[in-house]
Structure 1
Amino acid sequence: MTAAVDTSADDYPVPPEPGLTEHEVLDRAERIAETLIDRQQETEERGYYALDTHEVLLNAGFYRLMVPRRYGGYEFGIDTHMQVVARLARGCASTAWMYTFGASHAHLAATLLGEQAQNEVFAGGDFICPGVVAPAGFAEPAEDGGWIVDGEFRYASGSPYATHFVGQTFIAGAEGEPPEQMMFIVPRDQWRRLDDWGSQLGLKGSGSYSVKIEKAHIPAHYALPGTHMGLASVVGGTPGLRLHGTTLYGGSVLAPLNFQVGALAVGMATAALDVYGELARERTIPYPPFGRRAEDPDYQLRYGEAVGRVATARAAMTDMLRQWQETAELGDVSREVELRMSIISREIVRLAWSAVSDILFPTAGTSAVRAGERLERIWRDISTLHTHAGVNVYLATIAPRELAQLALGIAH
């Protein structure tokens, strides 16, 4: 178990760069993204981003962005993290995916866990904690009041350099009753990563391996019986709000989990625009008058329409993040508000996908979509994003139905 750090109000650990600003963080993300473009093939072949890339992200402070100041973190907002994700995805979607689904759960942990657990899991400052929303395995009571967890958890993006893992499991219910769900967090030395990622269509380098937990002891303060990480209510306040005194850890946890797919889609679609613009300036059309694509009215129309769709998606992302901050400051975020914000992310994905799949990919030319070409990889990655259960199951069907029921006052 990780030792606790001194977190008295007068003696918080100092982050590596006390004067780091959000503006500099975003500038760093753009610079890092440029270095990722030419490394996408090796990242896919490896299955996750390289150790030196991990060290760059580490030194840039990216694993501390949403770690509370109490533990030497920067405590930047949800908006800063999502803007970083969009910028990284412009360079390499796999890297951005692996990064965000490892680093973003600092917000979840800082919002929902109690003080003792936070003192321990954040003791190292840098926090990389892949999470799996789908419940797996079972937990049995331990003699000391904790739990013994056993199970295999698929698609733990971010696991190669992780410090922890957060998951959902089942607790046996009373006789005749269905099992109850339990959220738990576990340090890295209590699980192993399986070698089962890399054969998918896209996002091959996202490090989305399975995590195997075998009879691990989970202390009682690392477990939240009756809590689902994506459905936890923040009405009435949260442990994080009381502990840290900031609404960053008092707002919705459901919506930020869903915001990530929108940020990733915006970054991928922006990268596709980059490629299409380069092709328009460099290549000619195969029919009379044989001019450059950039001078052809049809290519201008396609490019302009795609730019508009991506710009609309980006604007929706910006306002979605603004809404989250606004609702967090008001407090007592209702389920209806959480769902409405979450579904915006689904619409962002739709706009970004339509720009790539309907306009840019089919009109870029066959040579631009050969295996290994940048646009071909972007198309594979954003296609694979659509297979994520959070996108095409939860946000596409479950969330809209529940939102309608709440808005219409229908019991469910």
Structure 2
Amino acid sequence: MAPALVERQAETEDRTFYALDTHEAFRKAGFYRILVPRRYGGYEFGADTFMRVAVALTRGCPSTGWMYTLGAAHALAAATIFPEEAQDEIFATGEFIAPATIMPSGSAVRVEGGWIVNGTWSYCSGSPYATHFMGHTLVSPTEGAPPEPMVFIAPREVWRRLDDWGQQLGLRGSGSHSITIEDGFIPDHYTIPGHMSQYSVADGTPGVRLHGNPEYGGGPLSFMNLESAVLAVGIAKGALDAYSDLMRTRSTLFPPVVGRVHDPDYQYWYGEAAGMIATAEAAILGAVRQWQEACAVGPEAFTAEMEMRLAGISRQSVQLCWHAVEGYLLPTAGSSSVRRGERLERTWRDMSMLHTHAGYAVFLAAKAQRELAKAHFGIPDGLAG
């Protein structure tokens, strides 16, 4: 599918999400069932298969890969942390597409059997074809107590997608629209106290007890961090493809004028970038295997240090991809190759946009390193010195 996605990058950006026939092709291929439990008609193929599909799609079209990945990935989290009653309902069709946001927003009022939720949540990647939405809001656990996060699942009929995406620097076709809920009823079994990224698997999970698959017992935070790095690898591989085409079709700028593919400098720039991207891919797929191996060991393997070590691998993988594109491919491709609409120009914009994502720009860029050191040396939270 990737070659066809390359050809449709421009129209995907104009539409702000991938086409309906692309969505139907993904459905037919079973992409939305990869992480859904077999109990509900899913394939339960595992994190490694899902991540490889994400890389392949993102390599063809970063916006499409981003929208698919951040819509389909959260089937794993939902199957891990939510109770059987909720899973029986949300996975009833065998497909689950749900953008998830980490920033608590809106409000929730307690009513009999659940909550009345109101609010708007931004950056809901995957929303155009989503079956559900996973968000956070703040609620007080008891009257007068300070508000705390609560994660909830909202079925499609409860929310509305806003037409507010497409003017950003990059990833203009990623379907990252805002979602708004007006007096939406969310039943209790569709809610969990706390923040999804801080969910502890130490005592086991509903997913493992229900499905018997250890991958439904892994740490949600580390899995979310792996997603960012996998997307960066896909984007960088697409940029390398574009550079390869230039190597084959263009000549050097200075004498002796030869095809770039025969020029030692271009050979070096290509080789250096290719090595960095291959290293990033090997690192992140290795991290995915580590995550799966930890799942097999059991919840005791998901220590804070282990989670932050995987975050560190994710960070370095993104950095390698960025340095390959920004340091070697973009500056040596030539200005005509980065005109608006050129594939290399688009991949640079998309990777630049990835750098503004809070998961990377805030958490992976700074907080994760400190948390890794604190976990390794046993420094309690809140102790600065």
1:339 matched to 2:299? The reply is: no
Indicate the residue corresponding to 1:281 in structure 2.
248
**Which structure 1 residue ranges, 4+ long, deviate > 3 Å from structure 2?**
173-177
- The correspondence for 2:133, drawn from 161, 165, 176, is 165
Question: Offset of 1:38 from its aligned partner?
Answer: 0.6
The residue type equivalent to 1:164 in the other structure is H
Are the aligned partners of 1:233 and 1:335 in contact in 2 as well (CA < 8 Å)?
A: no
Match of 2:25 in 1: 56
Aligned to 1:252: 219
Question: How far is 1:341 from its partner?
Answer: 1.0
Q: Which residue of 2 aligns with 1:66?
A: 35
1:96 aligns with 2:37: no
2:46 corresponds to 1:77: yes
Contact 1:49/1:206 (8 A) holds in 2 = yes
TM-score w.r.t. the length of structure 1 is 0.90
After superposition, residues 117-196 of structure 1 pair within 5 angstroms as: 117-144=86-113, 146-172=114-140, 177-196=145-164
Q: Is 2:228 aligned against 1:265?
A: no
Aligned partner of 2:11 in structure 1 is 42
2:185 counterpart residue number: 217
CA distance in 2, matches of 1:57, 1:176: 48
**Aligned: 1:296 with 2:267:** no
Secondary structure, aligned partner of 1:185: strand
The one-letter amino acid of 1:219's match is P
Query: Which residue does 2:319 correspond to in 1?
Result: 350
1:325 is the counterpart of 2:292: yes
Contact 1:136–1:153 (CA under 8 A) maintained in structure 2: yes
Aligned equivalent of 2:280, options 276, 296, 313: 313
- 1:208 corresponds in structure 2 to 176
Q: TM-score scaled to structure 2, two decimals? A: 0.97
Match of 1:410 in 2: 379
1:289-334 CA-partner distances (Å, limit 9, x unpaired): 1111111111111111001101100110121011011100011211
Query: What letter matches 1:222 in structure 2?
Result: Y
Task: Report the counterpart of residue 366 of structure 1 in structure 2.
Answer: 335
Give distance in 2, aligned partners of 1:339 and 1:142.
38
Residue 3 of structure 1 is matched in structure 2 by none
CA distance in 2 between partners of 1:286 and 1:69 (Å) = 56
- Residue 55 of structure 1: how far off its partner (Å): 0.2
User: Given that residues 89 and 97 in structure 1 are in contact (C-alpha distance below 8 angstroms), is that contact kept between their aligned partners in structure 2?
Assistant: yes
The one-letter amino acid paired with 2:75 is A
SS state of the match for residue 108, structure 2? strand
Show CA shifts across 1:164-204 (max 9, x none): 00011000355764311100001000000011100001000
Equivalent residue runs for 1:13-32 within 5 Å: 32=1
Aligned-pair identity in percent equals 57
Inter-partner Cα distance in structure 1 for 2:286 and 2:351: 22
Q: CA RMSD in A?
A: 1.1
Q: Which moved more, 1:67-76 or 1:329-338?
A: 329-338
Find the counterpart in structure 2 of residue 383 from structure 1: 352
Where do 5+ consecutive residues of structure 2 fail to align?
A: none
The one-letter code sitting in structure 1 at the alignment partner of 2:175 is: G
Residue type at the aligned position of 1:190: V
Once the two structures are TM-superposed, the CA of residue 231 in structure 1 deviates from its matched residue by 1.4
Separation (CA, whole Å) in 2 of partners of 1:133 and 1:124: 26
1:239 aligns with 2:202: no
**1:132-179, Cα deviation, whole Å (9 max, x unpaired):** 1111112121123x1111111000000001100001100035576431
Residue among 81, 100, 109 paired with 2:78: 109
The amino acid across from 2:85 in the alignment is Q
**Which piece of structure 1 moves more, 331-340 or 356-365?**
331-340
Q: CA deviation at 1:66?
A: 0.4
Checking the alignment, whether the CA contact within 8 Å between 1:148 and 1:215 is kept in structure 2 is: yes
d(CA) in 1 for partners of 2:146 and 2:369? 26
- 8 Å contact from structure 1 (residues 138, 172) kept in 2: no
Out of 275-284 and 85-94, give the one that drifted further.
275-284
Q: Which structure 1 residue ranges, 5 or more long, are not aligned?
A: 1-31
Following superposition, the deviation at residue 342 of structure 1 comes to: 2.1
